[in-house]
Structure 1
Amino acid sequence: MAEDAPDLTPLVKALTSAPTMFGVPYMYAMFNMVVTAVVFLATKSLFTLFLILPIHSFGYFLTLRDKQIFNILRVKGAPQSKALWGVKSYAPGDRA
């Protein structure tokens, strides 16, 4: 009977979650840095570097509610092909 039992491997939660940087998903942290760098280059003011804090805080509080919130928002948004084809499709002939 013991031979019929499936082998179970424990699931490590850290291996299933997205990589984070300072508590927010890595891609959101990169987005934050790019936005802040662009604003800094446009204004040439060191004070714009403090823009990182409110943007990061916003993402951090969203992530506290749900770790996958940015993946959910990305999936719920319009696909990139909508601008090209005019519909949510991968090709103009898709009927799915």
Structure 2
Amino acid sequence: MNVMQCYAPTNDHNEDAKDQFYNRLQSIIEKCPTKDLTILMVDLNAKIQEKRNKKAAVNTSRKRAEKAKEQAEYTEVNKQVKRSIKSDKRKYVEDLAVTAENAARE
């Protein structure tokens, strides 16, 4: 079993940096034996950065209406981050269960 965790460039980076990252990641994955299970841990940097930006917008809002709007946007982004974390965790546990089942069969 191969477990990889990496942190991808956020949307703030230029396209060349993102392309270089994904090309390097692909070359590393291709070196893994195909018979092995490969688990790639998903990063949340982009989502978490968006959450931080929304929180900063809430904190810097001067008017009550503006602050309420920013707070609503922050709440939605926060829900998305939590859903993503929950989904990633569920997928990871399911992958471990499949790996254990396959190992038990062999």
Q: TM-score per shorter chain, which class?
A: 0.3 to 0.5
State the TM-score, normalized to the length of structure 1: 0.34
Larger Rg: 1
Report which structure shows greater RCO (CA 8 Å, sep ≥6). 2
Q: Say which structure is richer in helix.
A: 2
